[in-house]
Structure formats: structure tokens, C-alpha cells
Structure 1
Amino acid sequence: MVRGTTGGSRVGQGARRPELRLPPLEPWAGDGLEPDGDYDGLEFADADLTGQDAAGARFMDCALRGCAVDGTKLRHARVLDTALTGFRGVGTDLSEATLRDVELTDPRLGGTQLHGAVLERVVVRGGKIDYLNLRMARLRDVVFESCVLVEPDFGGARLERVEFVDCALKGADFTGATLKDVDLRGAAPLEIARGLDRLSGAVIGTGQLLDLAPVLAAALGIRVE
């Protein structure tokens, strides 16, 4: 069941955040990304990666700052121990990718495809992401902090130790999702379009419960007069 709380206590075990300690980085001097490429200890500064194909690539101990990623293909990519700052673009394909020990700061993204992806020890801090597709993804130790998520799709996803901290969650879809130790108390507003019946394993505040009451009543077929 969805548990209400007056604050103070945590839901289960809190999310573990990444602790990035990047080594000295070398500037990336390539002409473009390559499928199955191996990028280690590099800094990508203000790179235009629009439409490039890096499916299956590995980014390890890297920093990507101010990069344009419109339509960039990163399917099956592995992004490890890496800082992503100021990402901007529409239609970036990270489907079935692995993100581990990653900090994503101030993104401006739309229609990002992360369906079937694995996210572990990831922080999304600041920025705005519209229509984030996380269907069938696995999220463990993930924090959404001070960001705006518009119509994110968690359909069929598995969320464990996921926190929303000072985060706007608008029109979220949790259809078929499985939640464990998910803390929604820091989401304001908290707007759930679909999947209210899948919120077992989440914790919300009493004020949020009152805000969701009309939607819950409608989902249960209760008429309020």
C-alpha cells in the first residue's frame, strides 16, 4: 500500500549516490563517435554529437560538458563513472544502455529513450526532461533532485531505492511498474497520470495523499459528493 507519513523518517534504505573522483582528463580530439568505441579518461567539451552513432560504445571516467545530443545513437552504450553536464537535445537514444556511477547535471532533454536501460547509482540534478522513456528499465539507487520531469514513462520498470528530492513530477506513468523503497515525498507537484495501483512500495506525504485523493477515488470507482 502507499504509506503516508508526517515526515522525518525515511522509506526503507535510502539511495546510494555516486562518488565521482575523475582522474586528470585529456581533451577529446576525435572527428566523431564510433559504434562500439572505447572512450576512457576523456573530456568532451561543447561537442556537437548530433545524429552520431555510438551504439555499444563505452565511456569510462569521462566528462561530457555542454554537448548537443539531438538524435545521438547510444543504444547498448555503457556510461561508467562519468559526469554529464549541460546535455541538450531531442530524441537521444540510450535504450538498453547501462549507466553506473553517473551524475547528470542541468540537462535540457526531450524524448530521451532509456527503455530497457539499467541505471545504478545515478543522480539527475537540475534541468528539465520532457517525455523521458524508462519503460522496462531497471533503476537502483537513483536520485532525481531539483529537476522537472514532464510525463516520464516508468511503465513496466523496476525501481528500487529511488528518491525524488525537490523535484517536479508531472503526468508520470507507472503502469505495470514495480516499486521498492521509492521516496516520492520530495516531489512537488506529484502528478500521476496512470499506474496508481502500482505504488505499493512507495512512500508519500499526507499532503500529497490529499492531492491524489480525487484521482485515487476515480481509479477505485468511488463517487465523491
Structure 2
Amino acid sequence: MPRPPARSATNAPRLSLRPPQGVTRVDDPRLLDGDHREGEHYERLALDRQELAGITLQECVLEGVSLDDTDLRGARILECAFEDLFAPVFRAPRSSWRETSLRSTRWGSAELYDSRLDGVHLDGGKLDYVNLRSARLTDVLVSGCIIGELDLTGVRATRLALADCTIGTLTLDGAQLRDADLRTSSFRGIQGIDGLRGVTIDEYQLQLLAPFLAESMGLRIEG
């Protein structure tokens, strides 16, 4: 009898996301910094350059909303569902995200440093630069995304998976990754190769990483 395929020793992100139910559509939310909004549905709205620092969105749905240069410092995003978010500049440092899905996101630069993401699925979309420096990630899945630069400098992550993504530069200086799975994703360059310690990759990725590994070890390869 053929042997069953070997199971990966890497634990996958634990996600149990459910779309918010019974939400109320709000066409003119008049959001303010520090607000707590719950069970609301915002669709095709421009919230550009608004001051929304410290806002809490709980069990809310945002579809086709523009958040260009909107101040979301310290925002709390809880059990929400976002789709087609647009922001050439997305500013949400020191924010908290829990049990939230984001689909078809289009961000130029995303400032998410010092943030905390727990149970988050970023699915599809195009992002030029994602700054997650010193963030804490638990049970995070990024799938089907095109990302110009993903900066994970100083990140502490548990059960992080990058699936079917195309990433230009992955920066891992000082990163501490546990149960991180990069299989099926591609990278043109990696900085901070030591941050890959303990990460799961496939054989093809190992071949692509060989020059970076050799450089980090000071090896000279001559034919």
C-alpha cells in the first residue's frame, strides 16, 4: 500500500472567520476619532484624510471604501470584513486587528508598524509597500497577493503563512518567526536572511535562496 503523504510539522494559521451578520447600512457615518461603531455596513464611501485615531470598528463591513491618508493610529478592528479597500497611503500604526478578513485590497504604502494582528486573512490584492516593523502576528494568512516590499523587521509571529503570493523584497532583519510557512510564494530578494530561521520553505524556494544563503555565509562559488 502507498504511504500517505507526510504531514507538515508547521502549524497552519487557526482561522474561524465569519462575516458579520445583521449589519445596518450607513451612508453617512460621520466617524470621529475615538468612536466605537458596531454592526454597520459602509459601501462606496470616501473617508480620505479623516482623523480617526483610536476608533473601534466591531462586526462592521466595509466595501469599496477609500481610506487614503486617513489617520487610523491605534484603531481597533474587531471581527470585521473588508473588501476592495483603496488607499495610496494607508496609515494605521499601532492598530489592533482581530478575527478580520480583507479581500482585494489596493494599498500603495501601508503603515502598520507596532500593530497587532490576531486571526487575520489578507486575501488577494496589490500592495506596493507593507510596513509591519515590530508588529506581533498570530494566526495570520496572506494569500494571492502581489506585494512590492514586505517589511517584517523585528516582527514576532506565530502561525504565519504566505500562500501563492508574489513578493518583490522580503525584509526579515531581527524577525522571530514560529510556525511560518512561505511555500508556494515567490520572492525576488530577501534581506535579513537570518530571519528565515525555523521557516518552512519548499525545495524550489531553497534553490532560489541558495545565492542569498551563500552570501550570508561568505561563501564563494566558482564553476
Q: Which TM-score band applies after superposition, normalised by the shorter structure?
A: over 0.9
- Does the 8 Å CA contact 2:27/2:43 hold for their aligned counterparts? no
Using CA pairs below 8 Å that are at least 6 residues apart, which structure has the higher relative contact order?
1
- Does the 8 Å CA contact 1:131/1:151 hold for their aligned counterparts? yes
1:22 deviates by 1.2
- Residues in 2 aligned to 1:106 and 1:95: alpha-carbon distance in whole angstroms: 21
Partner of 2:204: 207
| Equivalent residue letter for 1:219 | S
Moved over 6 A (4+): none
Question: Aligned Cα RMSD in Å?
Answer: 1.4
1:8 deviates by 5.3
Partner of 1:193: 190
TM-score, normalised to structure 1, is 0.93
- Residues in 2 aligned to 1:149 and 1:137: alpha-carbon distance in whole angstroms: 18
- Residues in 1 aligned to 2:198 and 2:72: alpha-carbon distance in whole angstroms: 31
| Equivalent residue letter for 1:177 | A
- Residues in 2 aligned to 1:131 and 1:13: alpha-carbon distance in whole angstroms: 27
2:8 to 2, 7, 10: 10
1:28 deviates by 1.7
> Which digits, 9 at most, give the CA deviation of each residue in 1:133-168, with x for residues without a partner?
000000110001111121111000111100111111
- Residues in 2 aligned to 1:182 and 1:169: alpha-carbon distance in whole angstroms: 16
Structure 2 vs 1, CA of residues 132 and 143 (structure 1 numbering), >3 Å: closer, same or farther?
Answer: same
- Residues in 2 aligned to 1:104 and 1:142: alpha-carbon distance in whole angstroms: 11
- Residues in 1 aligned to 2:129 and 2:41: alpha-carbon distance in whole angstroms: 28
TM-score, normalised to structure 2, is 0.94
- Structure 1, 13-22 or 108-117: larger mean CA deviation: 13-22
> Which digits, 9 at most, give the CA deviation of each residue in 1:27-82, with x for residues without a partner?
12435321001110000101101001111000001000001111011110000000
| Equivalent residue letter for 2:156 | R
Q: Which runs of 5+ in 1 are unaligned?
A: 1-6
Structure 2 vs 1, CA of residues 80 and 209 (structure 1 numbering), >3 Å: closer, same or farther?
Answer: same
> Which digits, 9 at most, give the CA deviation of each residue in 1:173-225, with x for residues without a partner?
011110000001121x2334311111112110111001110111112111111
Structure 2 vs 1, CA of residues 55 and 99 (structure 1 numbering), >3 Å: closer, same or farther?
Answer: same
| Equivalent residue letter for 1:59 | L
- Does the 8 Å CA contact 1:18/1:103 hold for their aligned counterparts? no
- Does the 8 Å CA contact 2:47/2:66 hold for their aligned counterparts? yes
1:16 deviates by 0.8
Matches within 5 A, 1:44-55: 44-55=42-53
Q: How many residues align?
A: 218
| Equivalent residue letter for 1:85 | E
- Residues in 2 aligned to 1:75 and 1:114: alpha-carbon distance in whole angstroms: 9
